[in-house]
Copies of this chain bind each other. A is one copy, B any other.
């Protein structure tokens, strides 16, 4: 089984490691615009061969793990190049624009739209790790548009990697993921910015920061190259979540300003419900 990984960073590299471990017969080919990343992936043993788009005709599986705006441009080109029996899946954090782009493509049935909810705040092939996907949710969109035999191949991969599957339409995916992922990233990036701006001349101050701060600001380490295109793709949904988040913060600020600490207590008590929700998230 020839597996081509387009974009051999944290996400693509972690797929490469696990697929190689789970499928004896898998040969991993890496394709990346960044030659350094390819060399690193090769020397780390994540890929067996450096490769290119020209060799895609011999792929059995193609995994696209690059910024969503680039996926949008090259997915149709990749579909043009592959064999009729090849499965192509992407792992992007937005699904609507990408599904729309290949709707009606001759090889639409070779494509499976996926979004594994897994990652860390690090990036690049050196950040790739084994078992990143074990126990994680993989959201599959428009499954009925993928050829049955290729669905099976995809599910065999996801199953051996330990993922659980949820099916969803692309619009619902993009709407909900804005709340449970995209908004978290913005809140974290802007928290980091606010503190850095204020404390830039106060180096010692970060001695005062504890694990709580580290936790809330962790996602501010994420790759801007990945995240700017996500916000672009999911603009309307992200704007809506941001508007609501800002309105809640403004209200909280007004409550402090007017010394309504009973109401502040209630706001926090309500948010404590997140305990129930978080059970079951690693």
Contact between B119 and A210, CB atoms less than 8 A apart: yes
* Closest chain B residue, CB of each to CB of A235: B256
CA–CA, A215 and B248, complex, Å? 20
Q: Report how many copies the assembly holds.
A: 2
Shortest CB distance A16–B (Å): 20
Pick out which of these stretches binds chain B: A4-12, A25-33, A152-160, A259-267.
Answer: A259-267
CA–CA, A189 and B273, complex, Å? 10
Contact between A256 and B231, CB atoms less than 8 A apart: yes
Contact between B181 and A231, CB atoms less than 8 A apart: no
CA–CA, A228 and B217, complex, Å? 22
Contact between B209 and A281, CB atoms less than 8 A apart: yes
Q: Does A272 contact B (CB under 8 A)?
A: yes
CB-defined interface of A222-237 with B at 8 Å, one 1/0 digit per residue? 1011011101100100
Q: Could you say which residues of chain B place their CB within 8 Å of the CB of A77? A: none
Of B120, B180, B189, the residue contacting A213 (CB under 8 A) is B180
Q: Interface centre among A120, A184, A221, by most B CB within 10 Å? A: A184
Please report the total number of A residues contacting B with Cβ < 8 Å: 95
Contact between A252 and B190, CB atoms less than 8 A apart: yes
Q: Do A176 and B191 form a contact, CB below 8 Å, given A197-B244, A261-B229?
A: no
CA–CA, A235 and B257, complex, Å? 7
CA–CA, A249 and B194, complex, Å? 10
Of B120, B224, B249, B267, the residue contacting A249 (CB under 8 A) is B249
Chain A residues in contact with chain B, CB under 8 A? 117-121, 136-137, 139, 166, 173, 176-177, 179-181, 183-199, 202, 204-222, 224-225, 227-229, 231-232, 235, 238-239, 241-246, 248-250, 252-253, 256-257, 259, 261-262, 264-275, 277-278, 280-282
Q: What 3 pairs across the A-B complex have the smallest Cβ distances?
A: A224-B268, A192-B271, A117-B210
